[in-house]
Amino acid sequence: HFSPLPPAPEGPLATNSVLASFEDITALESAEAMRRDFVANVSHELRTPLTALMGFIETLRSSARDDAAARDRFLSIMEREAARMNRLVGDLLSLSRVEGEERMRPTGKVDLALVLKGITQTLEPVAEAAQVKLISEGEAGALPVQGDPDQLTQVFSNLVENAIKYGGQGGEVRLRVSLIPHEPVLRGKAYRVDVIDRGEGIDEQHLPRLTERFYRVDTHRSREKGGTGLGLAIVKHIVARHRGRFRVDSKKGEGSCFTVILPAA
Ligand code: ADP
């Protein structure tokens, strides 16, 4: 980046144009570096389960051949690793689709209240298995927004699943809906959904990076819980496509609150 600039032609306009092209190259190079990072990350994430699968195939072929109990155990692990790859590929496709569509605001009409109700019904058994109480509170009526029902379902499923997975030890997860008569940034009526847990919280230094692809506070823990590291990146892009706002508040040791604000239709 520090190769000498060509001698500046005379006059202020000409100098500006040299500066502008210098900045463009820097932006291009950093986009290229991000793309390379992403490809490297994806390859690494895919290779981890693949290596495990190949190792177990090898073991099944040799030592575990005549040991039925070991075979069952290895097959379960293989199933889990294959499921992980499947989730990862699914999340990559979701992410690439929503990134491609970001400029096009969805045109459908969706009742956010029904989306949230569907999610609590689907995730109730997951919460119960984790001994977490799933609590819905706030606005009870219809909450019409302009949007894509599947994508909005994905947003709130990701958030509630995360709250159960990472904040579940607090024993409860709250889904709180409120109406904002005039949202200052969106400049109009909006609905606010908070997904609140009383878990371990997130250290402040991580908050700005949580929506980066593959960023995890604790990689081992995320993997163990079946995470792909793409959930919040997908949330961020879907919310942007819906012209909404997304924020995270958290306090270490007290819990986290993930907030989505969507313009009312
Ligand atoms: P993952 O697939 O790893 O869950 P996400 O993009 O959904 O990926 O989340 C990124 C990281 O943010 C997680 O790995 C976890 O460390 C952290 N995180 C997300 N939600 C919570 C939460 N409710 N409480 C604590 N940490 C969380």
Residue with structure tokens 């199933």? 79
- Report how far apart, in Å, the C-alpha atoms of 229 and of each of 6, 88, 110, 257 are: 44, 9, 28, 18
Q: What's the gap in Å between 249 CA and the centre of ligand 1?
A: 13
What pairs with residue 110 in β-bridges? Answer: 145
**Torsion 212-218-224-225 (CA) sign:** negative
Q: For residues 208 and 71, what is the distance between their CA atoms, to the nearest angstrom? A: 44
Nearest CA to ligand 1 atom 10: 216
Nearest CA to ligand 1 atom 7: 231
pLDDT digits (tens, 9 = 90+) for 190-220: 999 999 999 999 999 999 999 999 999 998 8
Q: For residues 235 and 220, what is the distance between their CA atoms, to the nearest angstrom? A: 22
Which bin fits 31, alpha (ψ -120 to 50), beta or left (φ > 0)? alpha
Q: For residues 183 and 191, what is the distance between their CA atoms, to the nearest angstrom? A: 9
pLDDT digits (tens, 9 = 90+) for 66-85: 888 989 999 999 999 999 99
ipTM of the complex: 0.98
Q: What is the DSSP letter of 30?
A: H
Q: Which of 210, 213, 214, 220 to mutate to test the pocket of ligand 1 (most atoms within 8 A of CB)?
A: 210
Atom of ligand 1 nearest to the CA of 215: 10
Q: Is the pLDDT of residue 245 over 90?
A: yes
pLDDT digits (tens, 9 = 90+) for 30-72: 888 888 889 999 999 999 999 999 999 999 998 877 888 989 9
Position 15 scores a pLDDT of 47
Atom of ligand 1 nearest to the CA of 230: 6
Q: What's the gap in Å between 232 CA and the centre of ligand 1?
A: 7
Nearest CA to ligand 1 atom 23: 163
Q: What's the gap in Å between 10 CA and the centre of ligand 1?
A: 54
